[in-house]
Amino acid sequence: MPETDAPLTYGPNEDVVDLLLAQHAQIEQLFLLVIGGTGETRRDAFDDLVKLLAAHETAEEEVVHPLARTLPGGGGDAMVDDRLDEERQAKETLKTLVAGGVDADGFETGIILLRDAVLMHARHEERYEFPRLRQFVPAERLRSLATAVRAAEASAPTRPHPGAQSAKGNLAAGPVLAVIDRVRDAVRKPSES
Ligand SMILES: [Fe+2]
Ligand SMILES: [Fe+2]
């Protein structure tokens, strides 16, 4: 089957690296919308950002980093530990921002710090981790992982239902954790077979 050289392909040839790269770009866009936006626009963009970030980082934690640990060369374990630390810190900051909501004092500062940390983290993955996946993991496996990650993320709610809002009208921390749990459960199933 002919391979395409396009960096972002969708459909049967999309592999998990394509998918994660596309999500990095989407995450960056959403940060721009949150930081540049006000009122409802900012609130909606922040909700979308929280969902995507939670799902994306959880899928990486469950699928990509464990796989990267098994690959030869490149100080795999230390590299993966660094990525996991970055993700843990980002999730903590994210939870704090979610709990306070977009109108809280300190949201402005917090969201900029989070953006800088998340984008730096994404660059590290792109530089140190993704190339090794492409080098050492069979293309077929990378494609099936894309399918697994997409299915897992599709199982997570994309918009909060009214009961999921906090008193301030913002997305509550509970549903964010639920997204993480559901993505985790969904990605574990296919990898166990
Ligand atoms: Fe990550
Ligand atoms: Fe990532």
User: Which of 171, 161, 144 lies closest to 50 in space, CA to CA?
Assistant: 171
Centre of ligand 2 from the C-alpha of residue 170, in Å: 25
- Helix ranges, the chain (H): 16-36, 39-59, 65-69, 76-100, 107-124, 130-136, 139-154, 173-192
Read off the pLDDT of residues 78-108 as tens digits, 9 standing for 90 and up.
889 999 999 999 988 988 999 899 999 999 9
Centre of ligand 1 from the C-alpha of residue 193, in Å: 24
Centre of ligand 1 from the C-alpha of residue 190, in Å: 20
Centre of ligand 1 from the C-alpha of residue 117, in Å: 11
Cβ atoms of 117 and 89 closer than 8 Å: yes
Centre of ligand 2 from the C-alpha of residue 86, in Å: 10
For residue 1, what pLDDT is reported? 41
- The domain locations on the chain are 16-192
**Fold designation for 16-192:** Four Helix Bundle (Hemerythrin (Met), subunit A) (1.20.120)
- Per-residue pLDDT tens, the chain, 193 aa: give them: 444 444 444 566 789 999 999 999 999 999 999 999 999 999 999 999 998 998 898 889 888 898 999 888 666 788 899 999 999 999 889 889 998 999 999 999 999 999 999 999 999 999 999 999 999 999 999 999 998 888 877 766 554 444 444 444 445 556 666 667 777 776 676 544 4
Centre of ligand 1 from the C-alpha of residue 122, in Å: 6
Q: Residue 128 corresponds to which amino acid?
A: Y
